[in-house]
Chains A and B, each alone.
Chain A
Amino acid sequence: MAETASATHVRHGSSIGQPLTRRDGVLKVTGQARYAADNHPPGMLHAALAVSSIARGRVTALDIAAARAHPGVVEVMTPANRPPLALDPDAKTGPFVFRMEVLQDDRVRYAGQPIAVVIAETLEAATEGAALLAPRYAAEPVEAGLDAADVFVPEMVGPGAPAREGYGDVEAGLAAAARRVEAVYETPAQYHNAMEPHAVVAAWEGDRLTLDTPSQGLAWAQDRIAGLFGLPPENIHIRSPFLGGGFGSKGVISGPQVLGILAARLVGRPVKLVLRREQMYGPVGHRAPTRQRLRIGAGEDGGLTALDHQVRTATSRFDDFIEPAGSVSHTLYAAPAIAIGYDAVRLDTGTPLFMRAPGEASGSIALESAIDEMALACGMDPLEFRLRNYAEVEPISGKPFSSKALRDCYAQGAARFGWAGRPLQPRQMRDENGLLVGWGMGTATFPALMFHGQARAVLRRDGTGLAELGAQDMGQGAWTALAQLAADSMGLELDQLEFRAGDSRLPDAGIAGGSAHTATAGAALHNAGAEVIARLAELAMADRRSPLFGAGNAGVVARGGSLLRRDDESRGESYGEILARAGLEEIEGRGSGAMDPAVQEHYATHAHGAVFAEVKVDPELGQIRATRLVGAFAAGRIVNPRLVRSQYYGGMIWGVSFALHEQAVMDKRTGRVMNANLGEYHVPVNADVPSLEAILVDEVDPHVNPLGIKGVGEIGITGTAGAVANAVWHATGVRVRRFPIALEELALAGAE
């Protein structure tokens, strides 16, 4: 896969656009990167959670004496002795403030809820102490599954979208349609399962708290903890340089992290608390299950007449997060009438949360399957059908797209995959061993968002620079891409730049989520760099001794650690010289990044892509393998093609997982997840994705933000999941609408 030099990928300054390897790569492969749980402050104790095995009811007894008697156990924290909080953990003080279970009472809200914390000299003693608590319960009947009785229409979905949206007359559009598809698709509950479990090392000094804990948003976390403990945010120092993945589950501080802090408070010593893998299936969020009913109408010409996307999903009994699975239908296909609606049930589970491509992932597999079904009903090739219904403006808003190179994605992806000549009918292709072969496609989409972020840039007399912000590296390579942006904004080579991040004392970089981090933090760095350069230039231009004196109107260019006159680049001087003469050790600039409201008002901002999948299916046994995937994505400026390609690969593999592998198996009688481990909670292994290709399609976006950056972290799941599902249908002729696709549904379709 050769790098292609093209308009958006050429060097800006010297770093942006370069396929640099990760700055932290050597640290990681040599085990030197320090993750939260690698910290051991002196005197530290270990805490272990005891969690509920029932999903609803009360804890009636804990054998605290037995746990305390276990050698090494120092303390057992229960609702009876848990230190007080300044804020009710069930207070809903904002839409992204989620209720948490931090031993406020004896209620059990879901299986896996923390019910006590055992603190001991060793992890083993704490763990055994937790087992010795042998809880007893007064259990109550459990609500599990999407058919639960109490159905409601939520006030809002996802981060704040309305639960009813649309335009036009869908019923009339359906009535007038020459072809109609009506189908119900089901997606299961899924859990984030980052490799690094949630962990916290908490150390109090009076009312100052030092925390090592993974967080996708340090300032948010700091505020949340400050609020809970009634302290000023600056008293809370959080270090979170690296995350072993987050996928949304580390976006907000979770109950177990707060319990670690409380435990340290209780014993007056530093405490480490790390979740066990099975404890990640409860208190730290999940993707809620969905049941999506799609009704689509099309005319004789294959043009859509109506699109109706109705979502049933689930939230917890005590808090709301509604998986916004209808959101993809806002954006993708032009139709004269679109209706999107939601209802939800309340289950005895932990509260769902954003999980990589929240809403888009679940919605995309349903919409792309239904579109595929409609293409067949119209007798059209799935790509031709999608082009026929290409949205020139965003359907739901009528706004133009800030940029949309989706046609190029379709064309480049299809060409690379070899889509042409695909038989329309299913079950037409076999490989040399007689395995069924199918080809499917899907359109990928994800909004290009921005949050708020800040950064600081410093130029030093020795010619080096410093860029800093409170961003963390989640494994996606943020430190590398952000440093590239910073170096260029400061006119420095990358090796002249010190890059500091991952600490709450640094400027608030906003949240690493919504695929918005590079755009947001990048803009902040860019502006901070621009400001420090401007200040330096002012110094020089006002100084008679500088060759830049009086460059005023022509201006200066910053490059390679020097300022040069724009009208005569032979005249210039280095940053160090300017600072030395001014008698300054360093000079700083600050910048912030955020979406320009005017852009939002005038444009729809999305990344797009097209994914093509080949699967093979054993005709008798039903076993499925996604043998070849090609994705072509357009996401504005590409800061680092190597890292971006990795994001696409990761997303595409997640898409395969969505279609074929991943699900939480819940025992409906008890509301318990029965496969809460990575052996049985299946995700693809290497052998499941033998061939992956991601094409970076050129796209220049003059509007979305000054750097022209869209996000790449989540889009890869969308499109892929549907492409794989459609390929399975094309291979077998069996349309499975419940995901992940079970092999017996293919093997035994039509049998008995």
Chain B
Amino acid sequence: MNRFDYVRPASIAEAIAAAAEPGSAYLASGTNLLDLMKGNVVRPARLVDLNHLPGLDGIELLPDGGARIGARVRNADLAYHPEFSRRFPAVAEALLSGASAQLRNAATVGGNLLQRTCCAYFYDPASACNKRDPGAGCDARGGENRLHAVLGWSERCIATHPSDFCVPLAAFGAVVEIEGQFGRREVPLEEFHLLPGETPERESVLAPGELVVALRLPAEAAGFAAHARYVKLRERTSYAFAVVSAAAGLRLENGVIAEARLALGGVAAKPWRARAAEAALAGARPDAASFRRAAEAALAEAAPSGDNAFKIELARRVAARALLLAAAGTPERLPALPASAFAPVPGASLHG
């Protein structure tokens, strides 16, 4: 780890001013950032510590049915907030399916949004990586890329964004509140992360020094509470990044789907909102055939980026599963194994 300056700002304005200097990085809980620093993957010259800033750690339930969450709220605190998880059960389920209890107790909302990819070549300073070192090349191409992207990737970079939390946030239209040197702005979460294109080193819309201060879930998102689920396919029962995942929400009226939401995780450099699938579901009956059609639509543009063609079909199945579970209804209590294939299925059996 390099030597770095440590700044503990007293206000948001001070934080932004400090972080606008080149080579700065915000430090939230450091569960991702410090790992990267210890591995010499990132070498910031100064850390701007967010942990003592006032006003970033509230969970406000808005009277209109929405919610506003401070950037420093811990993942576990948010997931276990009773009213929040009642309004946004798929968000809570996604949070609780991520990482481990210890990490969730530390990790923050802002840090989760801005966590870096889990691409092993990115983590390894001896490998060529365009994200770490623009123009260096991409050793994941032709390498160990079983879990890399199948949507939205480019020749330059095939990495995925590993967050679970962000998947339902994308599905349910969350908005990111940002403050910077030139004031405040809001960006829909769906547009917050960038696809790699020619510049995989640019991962989000944040300009230098810009700070995520809060996240908002709109009132309409709570309208899916009765039919909202997250499903995460993993290589062990817990404590693993998603192979693929999906968040789904349905608004059912008179036995048909009035409105559907679907987003996929682990497939692209951003949480992947599947708008074509949502459109295909509007007005459809909530049955396996509709869900399979929607899943096909969601992956219509998918292409393997390496030894990962299997992810495309598995992503379809996970998407269809999330929709099916959503249709069956949000369970009264979150299952002990959130988002797991091994969680009990409410109502009936899934498989014939």
Contacts and interface: CB of A to CB of B under 8 A. Distances in A.
A and B pair up: yes
Interface of A: 53, 71, 124, 127-128, 131, 430, 432-435, 616, 618-623, 625, 660-661, 665-667, 669, 672, 674-675, 680, 682, 684-688, 743-744, 747-748, 751
A616 B240 CA distance: 18
Contact of A748 (B235, B236, B313, B340): B313
A458 B29 CA distance: 55
A687 B237 contact: yes
A685 B341 contact: no
Nearest to A124: B1
Given A434-B351, A621-B233, A682-B240, A665 B144 contact: yes
Contact of A688 (B3, B124, B237, B314): B237
A71 B3 CA distance: 10
Contact of A747 (B3, B314, B345): B314
Contact of A623 (B100, B143, B234, B351): B234
Interface in B294-351: 310, 313-314, 317-318, 321, 337, 340-342, 344-345, 349-351
Given A128-B3, A433-B350, A623 B233 contact: yes
Given A434-B351, A747-B314, 4 more contacts: A618-B341, A625-B342, A667-B144, A688-B238
What interface size band does chain B fall in? 35 or more
A684 B235 CA distance: 10
B183 interface: no
Contacts of A432: 344, 349
Interface in B89-146: 100, 118, 120-121, 124, 126, 139, 142-144
Contacts of B126: 53, 672
B314 A434 contact: no
Contacts of A669: 142-143
Nearest to A618: B341
Given A131-B40, A682-B240, A748-B313, A743 B350 contact: no
Given A127-B1, A128-B1, A434-B345, A625 B237 contact: yes
A674 B342 CA distance: 29
B124 A623 contact: no
B243 interface: yes
Given A430-B351, A623-B341, A744 B310 contact: yes
Greatest chain A CB density within 10 A among B100, B139, B341 is at B341
Given A127-B1, A680-B120, A621 B236 contact: no
Contacts of B235: 661, 682, 743
Contacts of A744: 310, 314
Given A621-B341, A680-B120, A434 B349 contact: yes
Contacts of A751: 313
A666 B345 CA distance: 38
B337 A687 contact: yes
A398 B264 CA distance: 60
Contacts of B3: 71, 128
Nearest to A674: B120
A688 B236 contact: yes
B310 A685 contact: no
A71 B118 CA distance: 32
Given A621-B317, A667-B144, A669-B142, A433 B349 contact: yes
Given A685-B237, A687-B237, A674 B121 contact: yes
Contacts of A71: 3
A435 B342 CA distance: 8
Contacts of A661: 235-236
Contacts of B236: 660-661, 682, 684-685, 687-688
Greatest chain B CB density within 10 A among A53, A433, A625 is at A433
B2 interface: yes
A621 to B, nearest CB: 5
Name the 8 nearest CB pairs between A and B, nearest first.
A434-B351, A53-B126, A687-B237, A434-B349, A744-B310, A618-B341, A687-B238, A674-B120
A672 B123 CA distance: 13
A433 B318 contact: no
Contacts of A625: 237, 342
Nearest to A616: B342
A482 B102 CA distance: 36
Interface string B142-153: 111000000000
B314 A621 contact: yes
Contacts of B342: 435, 616, 618, 623, 625
A433 B347 CA distance: 9
Nearest to A686: B238
Contacts of A621: 233, 314, 317-318, 321, 341
A618 B349 CA distance: 12
